[in-house]
Amino acid sequence: MRDMIAYCGLDCEKCDAYLATIHDDQTLREKTAKLWAELNNAPIMPEHINCEGCRVNGIKTVYCDSLCRIRQCALKKGMTTCGDCTEMEKCQTVGTITSNNSAALKNLKG
């Protein structure tokens, strides 16, 4: 499985935080911070929009680094992704992503 597939199955290479980071795109950081702040009703600033990928060494957004329950669970269980977990099909935590994103589910099963 590619390193840029997150624990939940999302493709980090398509994430605006990742794209803003690797291209050092301040405009995309600002746009993403504004959108994410509105969607999450949280104080997200452009300087928070830096991430090199969920499963690789390097900087991550605050959410991905320490608040994402999916990532924390996979790390605790020593899983490469949720796709390696025998409980994935009935897991409500990763289900919040896979039930609305068929590509993420395909990445985990792939």
Tens of each residue's pLDDT in the chain, 110 residues: 578 999 999 999 999 999 999 999 999 999 999 999 999 899 999 999 999 999 999 999 988 998 899 999 999 999 999 999 999 999 999 999 999 999 999 999 98
Kindly write down the DSSP assignment for every residue of the chain, as one continuous string.
Answer: --TTB-TTS-BGGG-HHHHHHHTT-HHHHHHHHHHHHHHHTS---GGG---S-SSSSS---HIIIII-HHHHHHHHHT-SSGGG-TTGGG-HHHHHHHTT-HHHHHHHH-
Predicted TM-score of the model (pTM): 0.87
